[in-house]
Chains A and B, each alone.
Chain A
Amino acid sequence: MSALGVAAAVRSGEVRAVDVVEEYLARIETRNGELNAFNLVMADEARAAAAAVDACVAAGDDPGPLAGVPVALKDNMCTQGIATTCSSKILEGWEPPYDATVVARLAAAGAVAVGKTNLDEFAMGSSTENSAFGPTRNPLDTDRVPGGSSGGSAAAVAADLAAISLGSDTGGSIRQPAAFCGVVGMKPTYGAVSRYGLIAFGSSLDQIGPFSTSVADSAAVLEVIGGHDPFDSTSIDAPAFDLRSVLGRGVDGMRIGILRELSGGIGSVDGISPDVQARAAAAAEALEAAGARVQEVSVPSATLGLSAYYLVAPAEASSNLSRFDGVRFGLRVDAPTTGEMMTATRTAGFGPEVKRRIMLGTYALSAGYYDAFYGKALKVRTLMLAEFASAYEQVDLLLTPTAPTTAFRLGERTADPMTMYVNDVCTIPSNLTGHPGISVPFGVGDDGMPVGIQLLGPALSEPTIYQAAAVLEASAPHPGGKEGR
């Protein structure tokens, strides 16, 4: 059942939230050992929250738009009194004293948090293999990765261990795993969803968004978690989104651009596999058949995204992750002096990919290197903003594959970080520009694994994106998102 279906049934009293949650907890019990999607299952808390929803329904009060909907939270979002690990040893034993804004908003909407999901340590990775607690497996083929960094959240929804989940997307960490697992994944406009309580990776890039099995569920969750938050200075002070009402409007007359540089053809970055290219072409045709006007659009600087991103994100991360020093929370490895204690703690607490990025970022910001690296990356960002702005004068939305390939096998790309990094080539530009992007499942590749199609738009174009995403979803060759199709 869809999340909106669960909510409707619970709200009407047809189904009890406590029964829904038991069903999900039982499924988690059965499947999580194999998938490793959850770092922590919040069984007691979930049962209590579901009982509260039922009591609310029984009393005739409004239990909220997501009443009784089981939700999984990426384990980099703070939950009061419940361990929050970022899949890192360095946060060992830490329980946040507060809830992230999104966590509080979901709870207020009646959603029931069932657990904290696995991720690449501190959201740094594209396969969920960089977790201190072992990799998550793709429910559609457990020899394959679920993508990352929000692999646990994507896998949880794909395996129906949660009706919906939240991920965070710094360079594609929602959209790419959504594509790999055959579910819908949305990265909203930067500032559309509060980051308060999201443990930062790249502060100017991070954005929280939903995973779901349908476009309508995705829209419903974004309506709940979006909107201004005074605790996040970068939160946009705009009215909350009205998304579900636009889902049936179709794409007649909508202008869709195929983003040349990220589509695999002439003038594109390398590495986009032919089967994925074919699915993107089919998606464009489907939109055209539904009345959209499709054309090719060029954004030359889109090819620079990867290089700029791997300077900006590590630079910010090197600063954001300084606070994990053993002084106030989490792991502490004792040593004779404070400085040595900090070094020992960070050496033992961080995994190799996190250390790699801290070092990359530290160098990018260093005196004498700043202008050549970080400074130049900022210039690329400015250039990309200008070029995307002019692209959005020609078209309403841009279309690309979400990722260059379908889900790869565990261990296949861990030896060389660069082969891992290119996974994000299609998703990164919208993080650098702060623009929204969605991944919608659209058939499968030659290996039978799902392919995701990405729709991109300018800032706050979420209604248009959902409008087109609903059309893509309706014309997709297979129903998206569930295993065993």
Chain B
Amino acid sequence: MTTPAGVAERLTSLVGALRAHGIRIGTGETVDAARAVEALGLADRELLREGLAATLLHGPGGRQVFDPVFDLYFPRGVGRPEERAAGRDDLRDRLAAALAADDQVLLGRLAVEAVDGFGGYGSAPESDGWSSYQTLERLRPQTLLARVRDDVRGRGGGEGFADRLLEDEIRRRIETFRALVAAEARRRVAERRGRDEIARRAVAPTVDQVEFLFAGKARLAELRRTVQPLARKLATRLAARRRRASRGAIDLRRTLRGSLSTGGVPMKPVLRRRRPVRPELVLLCDVSGSVSGFSDFTMLLVQALHDQFSKVRVFAFVNRIDEVTGLLRHGTADPEGLSARIQAEATLTGWHGSSDYGMALGEFAERHGDAVGPRTTVFVLGDARTNMSDPNLPAVRQIAERARRVYWLNPEQRSRWGTGDSAAPAYAELVEMHECRTVRQLSVLVGRLLPV
């Protein structure tokens, strides 16, 4: 290897940071990455980025973590920019021009200047730092929209049909700028606090490792986009399991019966035939505020998988229960509005608005008991926090007796089950309860637990 000494060290710490985010990278890949550095040279940063991504990552999911981490270990520049930003208005003028021209390189340089000029806070060496939030608050790039639009139109760039797309395009460019500012602020902080720590803390995890309970709005929207591909993947997995299951076990009775013609020696094993029935699925979803992100996602996922089952029925509850199968079927075209529509059109609450598992499960057993039969698998989705009311264990026992299987998916950390008003341990004694905090866990569970 003829890579410069510092590079090897930097590369291994980059790999370390990526591993800390749960991306699996072996030594072999690290060596490949070093060979890639050797082949590509260090002159072009973007080439280096692509080269390292190609050698270190194995799937599309890691890219989101890789890019910010790469920016930290192979920064665009070091220290502060040569020229100081002249002033807020001057910077805004130049930003507007760059946005109008859609000049990526210039935007990057402006982000550096902006953080340097407006992002610094604190004066003592221990407590100072750089904030992208503060930079963007002072600079307010979103308010440039009208100006940039008029500028582009004024120069004749906005004629014809495509003109109506202009505003959205500018909005996307502004988003790019905001991301650039965030990356730059992270880099400046990293110079101060140590790169490894920032790489570990300030880089968002990959989307399939985000916890449902703590995911923000943007993250949930991102999650929803993964529903269709995930459903396709799970469907293939289910189909494979079904194929394997249909080979079946040996049917002893018919094997022995067949062996009579060969003098009692079982020459030909007869396999048990399986009736081709598609299983039924019933979902009971807690859609109260605390866990609605999790329920929404799972409902959409199951709806996307509906052709794998003969019947899927979905019930939503807060403290009363109502069927939402129909809403869901129409809801796939507009997943963002789903929870709002469920809240508006289904009767989910009685006298108060907080969730009550006992009431809801009791009502289900009483009113919709016929939805559950010997072929039905029931999934209960929720955190089992009953707000101190009666968990109504007999109702759960009744459902469990009638159904083929009952599974409970709990989006809470296992160590928190049973703390406060959680009735999780009591329910877990009656039905199989699984921790399901992230999409990764969910897809493993769904692939394993769904009946075939």
A and B co-occur in one complex: no
Which of B's residues lie within 8 Å of A, judged by CB? Answer: none
